[in-house]
Amino acid sequence: MRGAWLDEGKLTYREDLEEPAGEAVVTVMLAGICGTDLELLHGYAGFHGIPGHEFVGRVERSADRPDLVGRRVVGEINVACGDCATCHAGRPTHCERRSVVGIRRHPGCFAERLALPVANLHLVPDSVPDEVAVFAEPAAAALHVLDAVSPQAGERVLVVGTGRLGILVARALLTTPADVRVLARNQARLPRLASLGLPATLEAAPGSCDVVVDCSGTAEGLALARAAVRPAGTLLLKGTHVGAASLDATSLVVDEVRVIGSRCGRFAPALRALASGELQVDDLVEARYPLSDCGRAFEHAGRPGALKVLLES
Ligand SMILES: [Zn+2]
Ligand SMILES: [Zn+2]
């Protein structure tokens, strides 16, 4: 099988990959490169194998569910054991024994095919094109912010970090009645943020915001985000950090700041938001590369300010 292979911080294109085996085998049509994939290259999660976790594909075979063959699907990335205390408690994304597609002990989607449990698959409505459906996973992650906070009219919400994830998170928050801004690093960024429909601010006064979401993935961004939270406000951590980022614990106590971690979200509401256009993503695709050009695609995705780069098999 053809696909990308990651080992010891190096990405290569190979044509000798092992065919996937599992409950359902899915032919990948489009796959998206995200910040996590770039971090895997730099050692995040110690992953080696086929990377990639954002995809839309078509079920090629499924012994138990032949009715799914030929159907267009997206897939949840946490593969839970179904049997541990956490799974029994209804929190499969936190399964103690989980593997994660393209991130932890499970081959990813930057290949012609991948295997997944049937339970992880979601049918894509016919009205949603591949270029939109491929955003199901990051859209779910972005909308998951709204499972943690529901900012009200008059509340000030700030998003720090305007990369791929930050843009989606800001758009998710803009569906609420709150006053949502993204923090622009400098004047030069303003036109681009405006073209993406994101209200921007060049600075956030310390303690001025009710809710701040850090999507920066940097220690500097996290510090800016923390400073902007008002006493008894909420700091939501969305970006993954490769190194250790620090927060002053005493100031969190004194200011009674609520700190919330946020990772993967629910696919069903994400697909609904993509189908209805409530969450717009079609303007976020920056480039497409064939699978055989995965090296160049990763290089492109890693450029500062790059939007979504897709791989097609
Ligand atoms: Zn991702
Ligand atoms: Zn489990």
Taking the CA of 37 as reference, the closest ligand is: 1
Q: How many CB atoms lie within 10 A of CB 123?
A: 12
Q: What is the sign, positive or negative, of the torsion defined by CA atoms of 54, 59, 61, 62?
A: positive
The 8-class DSSP code of residue 279 comes to: S
- Report CA(87)–ligand 1 centroid distance (Å): 23
- Report CA(153)–ligand 1 centroid distance (Å): 30
Residue 242's pLDDT is: 63
- Report CA(100)–ligand 2 centroid distance (Å): 12
- Report CA(115)–ligand 2 centroid distance (Å): 19
The two structure tokens encoding residue 70: 């030929």
Residue 60's pLDDT is: 98
Residue 210's pLDDT is: 98
- Report CA(86)–ligand 1 centroid distance (Å): 23
Residue 239's pLDDT is: 76
Q: Which residue ranges in the chain fall short of pLDDT 50?
A: none
- Report CA(109)–ligand 1 centroid distance (Å): 11
- Report CA(253)–ligand 1 centroid distance (Å): 32
With 0-12 / 13-18 / 19 or more C-beta atoms within 10 angstroms meaning exposed / middle / buried, residue 24 is: buried
Residue 43's pLDDT is: 80
Taking the CA of 109 as reference, the closest ligand is: 1
